[in-house]
Amino acid sequence: MATEEDLRALARVAASLAESDSFAQTLAALATEIRRSVGLAAVHLRLSDPAGREKPLGALAGLPGSAEELSDRIAECQALGAELVSLSAMAQRRPVVVAGRWNTFTRDPLWRPLRAVHAATTWETFVAAPLLSRDGVVGYLSAFYPPGREPDPDDLSFLAAVVDQAAVTIDHAGMIVDGREQAAVRERRKLARDLHDSIVQDMFSLSMHARAIGLASKAPDAEAAAKIRSDAAQVVDLSYSVMKTLRSMVAELRAPELDERSLVASTREWVTEASSGTGLDVKVVDEVGEPALLPDQREDVWYLVREMFHNVVKHARARHAVVRFTQRRDEDARTFLIVEVSDDGVGFEERAHRPGHIGLNSMSERAGRLGGTLTILTGPGEGALVRLEFCTEVSQVSPNSADRVDIDWRPRDDFPGGTR
């Protein structure tokens, strides 16, 4: 039977897909993960527009050929008079279960055009579920259960959660693909990733525990009572986690205008709000005063600091963090601004932040526009220090540059005098 961990695994896969530019890639990987997590013989995902006409976009797992070819075969069956359960599910906006569908499928001549596709796959029960998003029905999921696997209420409850996850992923991918401005696309990718990484996973866990409480309440014995208490405690903990994450995200979206106050003062105000309720002890160390920066430089530094600190709140599991502004002069008397964000959390490894990670990409791009360097000093269990350094003189920077800088990864103890 599928478990909550399977659902969390699906949510993690969906999170990585939410930033993809390819709708087709998103659907294909999603179909594969749904088949694995639910234990299905095959899966067919299909999108449709609001008028109900199918777009040429879908994905298969466990069946040969392409989703487009399968849709053509389904259309042939429909033309012969076959009843499509998927259309009924979309019209009713709820899953439809058909036990013993395999027998009808193999014997009814109306389904002959599809039999070649299913020749190498054996299944028994068929479930069609609509994909519901904020814009209504966006498609359907066809789930083919293997022989001897009659879905019970728990299975269907899990499938409902999986379908919800798929719809949210598709919706977020659509937000990204439909974006027209690159800046807006980057912000949407980051927001979609943040939602999937935290709130979506916790909300699905909440729904699973709530369903478990409902099922346990129907068997009021001592064991059921213990199960209810355990799941209720999980609901409370997850609710707190969701609220903490939302508070951090709202603080990030409500950035103060930099023209109104100094960069350091804005940073101090924002990190205080972003860390509120997290138990994180934060210090902002100012060894510079207000640095002499161009407006574009100030904005890039501001967003870099936000991203650095957001990673601490979100991933580090730290007790203490320090944001430090300092500067140095080189042998040519040029002034360099240095901004460091350090913590005493779990640390991370370079391989855990592969190319394509939206937060690191954004930081790399901004450091490139500043003409600076970005260094990350860390190790498992050793905390982390993220260090930005750039020359503040106008002749040394190119704010319109689109080049990224390569992030310099080093062991945590490789930086003399690094803050902890």
CATH code for the domain in which residue 389 is found: 3.30.565.10
Using the 3D structure, point to which of 233, 254, 275 is the last residue of a domain: 254
* pLDDT recorded at residue 141: 92
Q: Which amino acid is at 219?
A: A
CA-to-CA distance for 155 and 95, rounded, in angstroms? Answer: 12
Using the 3D structure, point to which of 236, 254, 272 is the last residue of a domain: 254
* pLDDT recorded at residue 399: 40
- Do 333 and 298 fall into the same domain? yes
In angstroms, the Cα distances linking 327 to 180, 187, 337, 338, 341 are 39, 30, 4, 5, 14
Comparing CA positions, the residue from 374, 381, 357 lying closest to residue 408 is 374
pLDDT over 70 percentage in the chain: 67
pLDDT at 15 over 80: no
CA-to-CA distance for 23 and 105, rounded, in angstroms? Answer: 31
What is the model's pTM?
0.46
The mean pLDDT value for 285-302 works out to 86
The mean pLDDT value for 18-43 works out to 79
Task: Supply the range of the domain harboring residue 45.
Answer: 4-152+162-176
- Do 203 and 78 fall into the same domain? no
pLDDT at 96 over 90: yes
Token output for 123: 């299944």
Q: What angle do CA 198, 200, 205 make, to 5 degrees?
A: 95
CATH of the domain at 51: 3.30.450.40
* pLDDT recorded at residue 365: 81
Please indicate, yes or no, if residue 420 is contained in any of the structural domains.
no
Helix (H) or strand (E) holding 223: helix 222-253
pLDDT at 371 over 80: yes
pLDDT in tens, 294-341: 888 888 898 899 888 988 887 888 999 999 999 999 988 899 999 999
pLDDT at 224 over 50: yes
CA-to-CA distance for 67 and 55, rounded, in angstroms? Answer: 11
Q: Please, what is the end-to-end C-alpha distance for the chain in angstroms?
A: 45
- Do 170 and 99 fall into the same domain? yes
Token output for 226: 């213990």
pLDDT in tens, 396-405: 444 444 455 6
Split into its structural domains, the chain has a count of 3
- Do 98 and 26 fall into the same domain? yes
Alpha helices in 60-152 (DSSP H): 67-80, 85-92, 101-107, 112-115
Please indicate, yes or no, if residue 419 is contained in any of the structural domains.
no
Is 188:175 a contact under the CB 8 Å cutoff? yes
Residue 171, classified by CB atoms within 10 Å of its CB into exposed (0-12), middle (13-18) or buried (19+), is middle
Please indicate, yes or no, if residue 410 is contained in any of the structural domains.
yes
Average pLDDT, the chain: 77
- Do 30 and 170 fall into the same domain? yes
Of 47-56, 100-109, 137-146, 176-185, the poorest mean pLDDT is in: 176-185
Who has greater pLDDT, 372 or 190? 372
* pLDDT recorded at residue 282: 95
Helix (H) or strand (E) holding 153: helix 153-177
* pLDDT recorded at residue 207: 67
- Do 122 and 13 fall into the same domain? yes
CA-to-CA distance for 147 and 122, rounded, in angstroms? Answer: 7
Please indicate, yes or no, if residue 112 is contained in any of the structural domains.
yes
